[in-house]
Structure 1
């Protein structure tokens, strides 16, 4: 639950940034995740008049404004076509359609929640975060940074031919994920991200170097044993914790299964591209 003492619909990012320097202020996106905490907000800063609720597609990237709703991303034909339905798979399990119509990408990524499906998925892609004062920061770096008073403006996702897939497991439909996994492949290098550990999503250490397990001579018809070996090797590089949803050991076992499924998905995309 939260309370708001003041409200300001800003006319510029500069105005928003200045207002946000007070600790009692908060950028108000959809306001959906704020409900998880108990906070008195001195000034709610509304960015909805700044035109940051759009998805722009260029030859090099998808550029997503921070006020873009999760539902708009879920239904975006260009992103789903390019990433083989990954966005729809990532977002469809988040609470419900009404919630996703209001929750924004900026709010979902900036907070870096451990349970964040979007964070796990976008981390598996070539994603950079555009901050008002801090400029462009790779999401790989942003995820481990301390919180500050800067404002997330846009998210840039490269279109470089990377194949990607997303998998998650929930105890019940629309609940927070027990574990989530993003897998992507660019040429022969693989990138694996694991979220809901239950800590923040991370890139599996040395997942690129582990790619030799699925070397080029196995890519066309990768054996079940090779894929399972790869999934097991990657999961051993990730640290898991326990909470009310699952134990650390259960999460480790789940990670092998989800990585395996996502790798199979990515390999099938690669084969479709050769046809």
Structure 2
């Protein structure tokens, strides 16, 4: 059972940050995973009054507030166009529409959950996080760091031209994923992101700078090389060896789809 002793609707990020420095304080977010646990929260901090529930677009980037819901991501036309539907595909199997209307981007990203479809997909893009105290840093650096008591204000997704593919494997449609995988190519090269290992998502890169030439006709070798860099483990959904095989399969499918989009056979 979740017990909350004091509820505070923050009037500023500074107030929220100061309250959150106490160990028994907690940012609520969408409060969907939080309520499934059994704990006592001394001070529950609500950010819903700070205008952080919007997706704003500029010429250079999309700015996604931490209180933006997964449903907003799913329906956003600009993100759909930038990622060829990858953002939508990464969230559409998360429980159901009612859940996605409440679950927040900030909760998914800050939690660094191993099962997070959202973290996997954004790692494949040119993404940064804005922290209230820590400033703006690459999402990949943030995802690898230890949790602290800072506040994630927003995600910043640069409009770097990208080809992106998102896939996941689930035992049942709306269950937690057995494995998540995003493969992308942009100005920084080709990368594959694998999550639900069952650990948090990791990003690995091809030695080749691009997919020109069809990876020398060796998709299997490229996929095997990338998958070999992914450490997998076992849990109730799948064993480590199965996940390792699945990683190779999904990475190969992702590379193949990128080649098809580029018109490379």
Normalised TM-score (structure 1): 0.92
Aligned twin of 2:257? 265
Say whether 1:217 aligns with 2:188: no
Encode CA deviations 1:12-43: one digit per residue, 9 max, x unaligned: 10110011111111111110111342221111
- Give 3-state SS (helix, strand or coil) of 1:129's partner: strand
Q: Distance in 2 between matches of 1:31 and 1:75?
A: 21
Residue among 218, 233, 239 paired with 1:241: 233
Q: CA deviation at 1:186?
A: 1.5
Size of the alignment, in residue pairs? Answer: 264
- Matches for 1:49-198 after TM superposition, within 5 Å: 49-187=49-187, 189-198=189-198
Structure 1 runs, 4 residues or longer, greater than 4 Å off: none
**How many Å separate the matches in 1 of 2:188 and 2:97?**
37
In structure 1, the partner of 2:247 is: 255
CA distance in 2, matches of 1:26, 1:169: 32
Gaps of 5+ in 2: none
Asked whether the 8 Å contact 1:170–1:178 carries over to 2, the reply is yes
CA contact (8 A) 1:166 1:262 kept: yes
Q: Which runs of 5+ in 1 are unaligned?
A: none
Does structure 2 conserve the Cα–Cα contact (< 8 Å) formed by 1:79 and 1:87? yes
1:168 and 1:215 mapped to 2: Cα distance? Answer: 22
- SS of 1:178's equivalent? strand
CA deviation map 1:171-198 (0-9, x unaligned): 0010000000011102582111100000
Q: CA deviation at 1:83?
A: 0.7
Per-residue CA deviation, residues 81-127 of structure 1 (Å, 9 max, x unaligned), is 11100011100010111000000000000010110000111111111
Give the C-alpha shift of residue 160 in structure 1: 1.0
* Conserved 8 A contact 1:188-1:216: no
Match in the other structure for 2:5: 5
TM-score (norm 2): 0.95
Alpha-carbon separation, structure 1, partners of 2:220 and 2:156: 32
2:187 & 2:28 partners in 1: Cα distance?
40
Please say if residues 82 and 162 of structure 2, whose CA atoms lie closer than 8 Å, have aligned partners that are also in contact. Answer: no
State how far apart, in whole Å, the 1-side matches of 2:110 and 2:186 are: 26
Counterparts in 2 of 1:187 and 1:110: CA distance versus 1, 3 Å: closer
- Aligned residues of 1:62 and 1:158 also touching (Cα < 8 A): yes
RMSD, matched Cα = 1.6
Q: How far is 1:260 from its partner?
A: 1.4
Counterpart in the other structure of 2:206: 208
Q: Give the whole-Å Cα distance in 2 for the aligned partners of 1:71 and 1:2.
A: 25
